[in-house]
Structure 1
Amino acid sequence: MNPLRLEYWAQILNCMAAKSKPLSPEWIEVLVDCPGAQGLYTYRIPPALAVTPGDILSVPFNSQQLGAIAVRYLTQPDLNLDLIKPVEAVISTGFFSSSYWQLLDRIAEYYQTPLMQVIRTALPPGLLARSQRRIRLKPAPSPPATLLSASAQSLLAHLHQSTTGDYTWQYLQRQQRGAHRALQELLRHGWVESYLAPPQTAQPQKRQVVTLTAKPADESLSQRQQEILTGLQRQGGELWLSDALQLLQTTSATLKRLAAKGYLSLEAREVLRVGSHSTAAADQPKTLTAAQTQALAQLNQLEQYVTALLHGVTGSGKTEVYLQAIAPRLNCRQSALVLVPEIGLTSQLTDRFRSRFGERVCLYHSGLSDGERYDTWRQMLSGEPQVVIGTRSAIFVPLSNLGLIVLDEEHDSSFKQDQPAPCYHTRTVARWRAQQANCPLVLGSATPALETWVEVQSSRDSQGQRDEAAQTVYLSLPSRIHNRPHPPIQIIDMRQELQAGNRSIFSRSLEEAIAALPATGGQGILFIHRRGHSSFVSCRSCGYVMECPNCDVSLSYHQPHDQAEPYLRCHYCNHYQSHPSRCPECASPYLKNFGSGTQRVVSEIAKQFPTLRCLRFDSDTTRRKGSHRALLTRFAQGEADLLVGTQMLTKGIDLPQVTLVGIVAADGLLYMPDYWASERAFQMMTQVAGRAGRGERAGQVIVQTYTPEHPAVQAVQQQDYAAFTEAELQDRQALGYPPYGRLILLRVTSPDPIAVKQAAEDFASKLEAIAAASDCDILGPAPAPILRVARRYRWQILLKLPLSALISDLSCLRQHCPDRVSLTIDVDPLNLS
């Protein structure tokens, strides 16, 4: 063949080979560690530098060199290429796995939220700021030091002065001008290396511990001081100071006076900041029932991604199944993630898990301090097998080698975030994470969400057997431990109570049951869905209602106890004001509070049953750190006869001594302005009813309502989950609501009532083309049920879609947002108000 022709084909083949080679990425988007920095920033990757998403980088930012997290590659930046600065160095490789960023990307895409907002939600505050970039000498440098510049030799001399050959980068910058160029030269020639280290605090964290040193036998002690010492003795003679203040109901000054008299000691003790200070005793696996054994055997066979619904009635021992399913995975050096809906549940669950697994259990939720969250996060990066217990934010923790994810009380609405964006549902993200880790996901509940129930049931064939091709498993625990009976549920028609002349908030049956508690030695739980004393305050002369100046809602009446000064508070914006003596409208003194809340129930208990001891368990009494644990501990140790609370009481609390549950006002749950109000009411009433009779003594449940004929109330009395779901699903299917359709809620807010209305109308007109292409119904725009909250006016648009429809371009509406108008896109909303 002609040599020229050979050369021509050789050139063609070389070009084809060059095109077939994967091109190295040239640009990377990073999250810069700088207060006030918005969004992701683009940097060029130098040819000699290997950068992978998840690495910690050093980048130039304005006039500084800052730490940054590599988030994702960029194929073609939307910037002038000459303005893009290069990455300076890789400080730490593989700080995050690449799959972690894929998860965050998926969340951003599905929930139509900027990736930056997802990152802010996922990462603990100050993650990079709390870490230190350090420089250390390498053992075999090249070339000889004499060939280095004077500034590089000077920096090298500083490092040699350290006994470890290691200094923080901040320290070296302070020691020498031009340290940046000197460091680049040393890195280039292999004299030093840069790495990221956790902060070495000068002082370890310490907590005050209170220790009993003498028995309360001195007659000079007051009765209250003797009670404090006796209480401390009952607690084993030692408590953390924060726990002692809550459990003993005392002050630091009182404890210091007792310490001065020699009855106790106060000393600082070092602790690791991992979000829990449980002292629970060691525990051994319990003997399982036949149903538990079968469920555990099926779980232990699952080695890949499967969603398993553990449908167990209240008191059936779901937690013990979790514990025994996690144990073999820990032995195989796999980690487990256990998610619960409320912070209040984490303490009791953590105690039980720590009793079984010791210090391999850690806690993660938004109620921890920034330092605790940071330390827990870094502990998880170690790769050691561990169990993380947390609320919905814990779904983002960087656990590697995940062997199991558990979503306890999976039906609970607390797993859905309404604001700020992303409005994610923990159950959905947990599925994605389990798929990534290729590990089982266990959804546990006595009253599964209808979406979960339909998904699991649809994967089983007509004979009730599991479809092997489906990725779901149904596990049933149909009876309580030791075959304890379910408590009988009595429905009280409050209309008949009123006709009989009973104007109390308690029916005659509930009054009798409460009065009988001391004689039987049992304890009771009273559930009401509202905190505070009363729902609103109105003038009986002119009808004026006290309203929040910032929101279109009435102010709730609060009075912690009879001797306390009453006040008014808004439960939306937290506005607070004193209770007026006269009507602001007509100056009448006849102001009356209406409706009931936890404070009013406690007040009525004190009036009608003065000898009974009562504790209140709601968000007002559990604001302080550790208060959830303290209140439940006090109640479990018999310091109160009644526990009055809100929905916190419905979520997995195990109190075997409770024999009575009273639902004071069921109607407040039944008529919420949401499509799933009946489902939520059924779940909540069933869950709180399940707190009764979990011990040796039988329990009873009394439900007070003005609508005893409501299907949800009837289903609760009959304890028939299947019958309730069948009727509810028929209504959902007829209306095209989840789980037979999808919803997307657009919330538009602004301090300007005209601007927000106009923006909502503009968005609705832009949505018409999208709706036509995806068989989507547009409901609205319309004012939100509560038009104004925190001085911002609210309008909303609801999109109803078939399950198969996809809408991926709603986020483009944000480009059309006028000034002072904000748009929130809530995919799969639960709260429509």
Structure 2
Amino acid sequence: MLIGTSENLSQLSYASLAESVINSNLIAAEPKNSYQTHTPQWVEVLVDVPGVQGLYTYSLPADLLVCVGDIVSVPFGIQITGGIAIGISTKPPADLDSTKIRPIEDVVISGFFPQQYWELLNNIADYYCTDLMSAIRVALPPGLLGRSQRRIRLNKGAIPPGAEHFCSVIALKVLKLLQNQKDGDYSVNYLRNQVKGASRGIRELNKRGWIENYLEAPKRAKPKLKTAITLVGGSLLNDLTTRQKEILSILKNEGGEAWQTEFVKSHQTSTKILKALVDKGYIILDDREILRKEQGVAQDGDRPKELSQDQANALQVINAQTGYAQILLHGVTGSGKTEVYLQAIAPVLAQNKSALVLVPEIGLTPQLTDRFRARFGTQVCVYHSKLSAGERYDTWRQTIQGEPQVVIGTRSAIFAPLPNLGLIVLDEEHDSSFKQNRPAPTYHARKVANWRAELDDCPLILGSATPSLESLVAVRGDKALKDTASHKTGRRGDMASISKRFYLSLPARIASRPLPKVTIIDLRQELSRGNRSIFSLSLQNAIADMQERGEQGILFIPRRGHSTFVSCRSCGYVMECPDCDVSLSYHYTHEGAAKLLRCHYCNYTRIQPNSCPECSSPYLKFFGSGTQKVTQELTKLFPELKCIRFDSDTTRNKGAHRELITQFTNKEADILIGTQMLTKGLDIAGVTVVGIVAADGLLHRSDYRAAERAFQTMTQVAGRAGRGDTPGKVIVQTYSPEHPVIQAVKTHDYHSFSAAELAEREELNYPPYGKLILIKLSSIDSREVEQAAEKLADLLIDLLSPEYDILGPAPASVMRVARRYRWQILLKFSQSETDSPDLNILPDNADLLVSHKERLSRLRSHLPKSVSMTIDIDPINMD
């Protein structure tokens, strides 16, 4: 039986827990503070088990050293799970029988979770309304907090002939599943998912002795070992063969050490000869750990470049910061923001500190890491989700060591445990990819980076050509923004400081290169001229001219795949996903292949029927355009052009981002066709033409951020043109040429656009002036989730208005996804009210200070168990 302490977290908030840990003298991040094991000790562990909130007490075996903050594995019920050592004591809790307290199994990682890291995780758990273990789990690489699982294995020798006649229907289904599996082995959870009532069948088979159950240990990432050869013998003796003497001589000339695999291959020897030398005492073979890291491509050394006056001014302000500061580096595309980052990081490394550089997409890392490695060499490492589990594990462990280094990664890299952090950079800080949508906590890397910069007392640089309105208001303040409508992009030296917050402007491209000329094409006029092609005549001419000059181009389309939907021209029927309320998209594979329809929400896939399922008409037609269709149509118009498609379909494999970009950079293709990936950080000098094929796909979305996102996306993709010596040209195709966003993109006028957009946001009390919390409800029963949403909304209106606007309940924009019906309620309140809105819906105990997430957890008590609820603080996506 599992023994829990009296300090169960259903009674003690995680905020209080973290505060007590931080303020206690138990906190210890260094192994030197480990506890002696010659006296009995007990450890309080925060366990990683879904649905369990509590501290549990375990005894400390005599052969283990444990520090507060260590990651440990412990028995929990019938399984082994991961946990965090929170406290250590020489006495067990008074209310527990020490003889019934189970021992810790093992220490997974020691010397982690320093004080400021605890504070960071507690901030995340409290602000984003989740438990502390969820915040810890998202901060660690996969495999550290492993969990054992119960498995079932056939006892083949005990099963008699004709066994199927002796067991129940459910037991027979379980038996058949096991017999059809190669090893006759499945997890209990898998069997339960496949067979309704499987537990009864498992019990029956177990009583008969036909199966056995066992506990599979947690699967954790392990260090990678490699065999090394080390020369230890003296002068050559007569007991050696001629070949053995040659091997020893080669090894001595190579410094006395080598990796066995490479040595055997390069010198055409064998492991048999090496083992003979081991037996004679001339060499030793030993396994050594090697770090699995993303290696990239070897780069020629790079020296700092001469800065423009604007760059030099910005760098001077950054280097002058000796502690925390939030710095918004607003530089137009091609203005040299990356060079400012590089020169700001150099003195940080010289001070034996580390830097953390975050980018929004994995596709952005190859070019950026190549440039950083050219400047800083092996001090650069990469961390993102496309690395293997082993690579992430080793990179994460390397960051703990404290050596000065630069870690480049996506949003999860914000948790890299660098103990001596000197600078944080968020490149393309406006990008929505910095927001985690699932699993909980739904954190935004920009906010977490700001907390971490404060805790580590180091500067935070937010870089973008199109800063988010939240960052703009945060650093410049409302007073400075009153005049932005008259602010011109060419104005120099614009800097505002609000108590360690700085706005730095890079208003011009390096080498005085002009911003690309933007031409707006009215597709309505194209239709009136009889042009029904995806490409306007202007875009076709621009591509033809580009081809003749041997230059390169980029075509942007918001959607991947071939066609947005398939519809019957006879009755209007649209092929839809059976599990989601969306149409199926057509994906072209190759000529003659079956026509594949796919759902972009749940990945449901089916073959397109030959006739309409509704009226049996054979006239099914594709509508809308994706990257595949644009590629096909372009090839028809320009068969001699070489095209590369760059979207999530073509970059699924490891290394695909680098491979495709390298091909395009090396001019192995003329046109790069892709989705939002194209907007982020690509710096290719040969690109002179950019075509935005369907701008309207960005403009008309049911989201208050639609205009801001459309402006950012189009401005960013337009900025890929003209980065070399040849001026760039951008062609925007739209049915709404008069739209304010289109006009702002045409003139590259961020300041006028942001001033107008902020005025609307302020009037409607939307961020950055207001705060939002999105409550999402889902269930497989449509009526049940609708009723639950209505009940919850009524309760919130009664208790929270008028301080809070309760918008909804309303069905999500895509009401059904993966067979679950979705409703949502939006809470809107003034920024000035509080950063932690009072959602204590129970009026009793009004004087009790309860944490943010505990208040929200009370909402769940008003819902049926079959209705799930998630809380999204500061939501980015409203669907």
Amino acid across the alignment from 2:434: F
One-letter amino acid matched to 2:115:
S
CA distance in 1, matches of 2:47, 2:762: 47
Contact kept, 8 Å, 1:305 with 1:440, in 2: the verdict is: yes
CA distance in 2 between partners of 1:82 and 1:758 (Å)? 47
- Are positions 1:647 and 2:676 aligned together? yes
Secondary structure in 2 matching 1:516: helix
In structure 1, the residue matched to 2:828 is: 800
Q: Taking structure 1 as reference, are residues 31 and 629 closer, same or farther at Cα in structure 2, changes over 3 Å only?
A: farther
1:787 maps to 815
1:275 positional shift = 2.3
Are 1:101 and 2:115 an aligned pair?
no
Whether 1:327 aligns to 2:373 is no
Give runs of aligned pairs for residues 158-197 of structure 1, distance below 5 A: none
Asked if residue 350 in structure 1 is aligned to residue 366 in structure 2, the reply is no
Q: How does 1:543-582 map to 2 (within 5 A)?
A: 543-582=572-611
- Over aligned residue pairs, what C-alpha RMSD do you find? 3.1
Distance 1:786 1:63 in 2: 41
C-alpha separation in 1, matches of 2:221 and 2:581: 48
Structure 2: 5+ residue stretches without partners: 1-22, 28-40, 148-219, 229-288, 484-492, 838-851
Q: What residue identity is the alignment partner of 1:763?
A: L
Aligned-residue sequence identity (percent) comes to: 60
Per-residue CA shift, 1:129-163, capped at 9, x if unaligned?
Answer: 69xxxxxxxxxxxxxxxxxxxxxxxxxxxxxxxxx
Alignment TM-score, normalising by the size of structure 1: 0.77
Give 1:687-698 correspondences, 5 Å limit: 687-698=716-727
SS of 1:754's partner is: helix
Contact preservation (8 Å) 2:61, 2:103: no
1:566 is displaced (CA, Å) by 2.2
**Structure 1's 817 and 292: CA in aligned 2 closer, same or farther, altered over 3 A?**
same
CA contact (8 A) 2:596 2:607 kept: yes
- The answer as to 2:765 corresponding to 1:736 is yes
In the aligned structure 2, how far is the partner of 1:295 from the partner of 1:428? 23
Q: Does 1:55 align with 2:101?
A: no
Give the Cα–Cα distance (whole angstroms) in 2 for the partners of residues 494 and 309 of structure 1.
Answer: 37
Could you say which residue in structure 1 is the equivalent of 2:205? none
Query: Is residue 459–residue 472 contact of structure 1 (8 Å, CA) maintained in 2?
Result: no
Structure 2: distance between partners of 1:272 and 1:611? 45
Alignment check: 8 A CA contact 1:459 1:470 kept? no
Aligned to 2:309: 290
Q: List aligned pairs for 1:494-643, cutoff 5 A.
A: 494-643=523-672
Opposite residue 808 of structure 2, the aligned amino acid is G
Instruction: Tell me, in whole angstroms, the C-alpha distance in 2 between the residues paired with 1:409 and 1:335.
Output: 21
Give the letter for the 1:329 counterpart. Answer: V
Task: Confirm whether residue 672 of structure 1 aligns to residue 687 of structure 2.
Answer: no
Cα separation, 1, equivalents of 2:564 and 2:81: 51
> Which of 721, 724, 746 is matched with 2:753 structurally?
724
Structure 1 stretch displaced more, 455-464 or 582-591: 455-464
SS in 2 for 1:107: helix
CA distance, structure 2, for counterparts of residue 67 and residue 584 of structure 1: 51
Task: Identify unmatched segments of 5+ residues in structure 1.
Answer: 1-20, 131-196, 206-269
- 2:144 maps to 127
Look up the match of 2:464: 445
Structure 1 counterpart of 2:70, which letter?
D
Whether 1:427 and 2:446 are equivalent positions in the alignment is yes
Structure 1 position 118 matched with structure 2 position 135: yes
SS at match of 2:861: helix
Partner of residue 57 from structure 2, selected from 13, 37, 43: 43
In the alignment, structure 1 residue 70 sits paired with structure 2 residue 70: no
- 1:557 and 1:29 mapped to 2: Cα distance? 55
* Preserved CA contact (<8 Å) 1:274 1:376: yes
Are residues 204 and 605 of structure 1, via their aligned partners in 2, closer, same or farther at CA, if it must alter by over 3 Å?
farther
Q: Return the alpha-carbon distance in structure 2 between the equivalents of residues 102 and 27 of structure 1.
A: 24
Asked if 2 retains the 8 angstrom alpha-carbon contact of 1:33 and 1:67, the reply is yes
Check whether the contact 1:459–1:467 (CA below 8 A) recurs between aligned residues. Answer: no
* Cα drift, residue 31 of structure 1: 4.2
The Cα of 1:565 is off from its aligned counterpart by: 3.2
Going from structure 1 to structure 2, the CA distance change for 1:78 and 1:725 (only over 3 Å counts) comes to farther
Q: Distance in 2 between matches of 1:63 and 1:714?
A: 64
The CA distance in 1 between the partners of 2:119 and 2:573, in whole Å, is 55
Q: Is the 8 A contact 1:53 1:101 kept in 2?
A: no
Per-residue deviation, 1:276: 3.2
- Cα–Cα, structure 1 residues 590 and 111, in superposed 2: closer, same or farther, change >3 Å? same
How far the C-alpha of 1:811 sits from its partner, in A, is 2.7
**Is 1:380 matched with 2:399?**
yes
Q: Is the 8 A contact 1:561 1:599 kept in 2?
A: no
User: What secondary structure does 1:643 align onto?
Assistant: strand
Q: Tell me how far 1:198 sits from its aligned partner.
A: 9.4
C-alpha displacement of 1:88: 5.5
Q: Tell me how far apart the structure 2 counterparts of residues 705 and 78 of structure 1 sit (CA, whole Å).
A: 70
Q: Verify the 8 A CA contact 1:570 1:576 in the aligned structure 2.
A: yes
Cα shift at 1:305: 0.6
Report how many residues are paired: 679
Residues 579 and 72 (structure 1 numbering): CA distance in 2 closer, same or farther, change over 3 Å?
Answer: farther
CA contact (8 A) 1:562 1:603 kept: no
Secondary structure in 2 aligned to 1:403? strand
Preserved contact between residue 362 and residue 376 of structure 1 (Cα < 8 Å): yes
Q: Distance in 2 between matches of 1:126 and 1:715?
A: 48
Residue 403 (structure 1) aligned with residue 402 (structure 2): no
Give TM-score scaled by structure 2 length.
0.73
Pair 1:67–1:621, CA change in 2 (3 A): closer
Shift of 1:202: 4.5
Deviation at 1:121, TM superposition (A): 1.4
Q: Say yes or no: does 1:369 pair with 2:388.
A: yes
Greater mean deviation of Cα atoms: 480-489 or 512-521: 512-521
Correspondence for 1:85: 101
User: Can you list the C-alpha shifts for 1:210-234, whole angstroms capped at 9, x where unaligned?
Assistant: xxxxxxxxxxxxxxxxxxxxxxxxx
8 Å Cα contact 2:774-2:872 kept in structure 1: yes
Which residue of structure 1 aligns with residue 318 of structure 2?
299
Please give the secondary structure, in 1, of the residue aligned with 2:759: helix
Comparing 565-574 with 456-465, which one deviates more in the overlay? 456-465
**Residues 672/81 of structure 1: CA separation in 2 closer, same or farther (3 Å cut):** farther
Name which of 778, 787, 801 aligns with 2:806.
Answer: 778
- Would you say 1:759 and 2:778 are equivalent positions? no
Comparing 323-332 with 465-474, which one deviates more in the overlay? Answer: 465-474
Determine whether 1:412 maps to 2:431: yes
Give CA deviations for 1:770-799 in whole Å, capped at 9, x if unaligned. Answer: 413x71011111111111001110000000
**1:460-504 residue CA offsets vs partner (Å, 9 max, x unmatched):** 769998676612111111111100011100000000000111100
Q: CA deviation at 1:72?
A: 7.0
Amino acid at match of 2:101: K
In structure 2, what is the Cα distance between the partners aligned to 1:627 and 1:64? 39
| CA distance in 2 between partners of 1:123 and 1:24 (Å) | 22
> CA contact under 8 A between 2:568 and 2:621: conserved in structure 1?
yes
Cα-to-partner distance string for 1:233-258 (whole Å, 9 max, x where unaligned) = xxxxxxxxxxxxxxxxxxxxxxxxxx
CA distance in 2 between partners of 1:585 and 1:516 (Å): 47
Contact 1:417 1:425 in 2 (8 A): yes
1:763, distance to aligned residue in structure 2 (A): 2.0
1:230-249 paired onto structure 2 within 5 Å? none
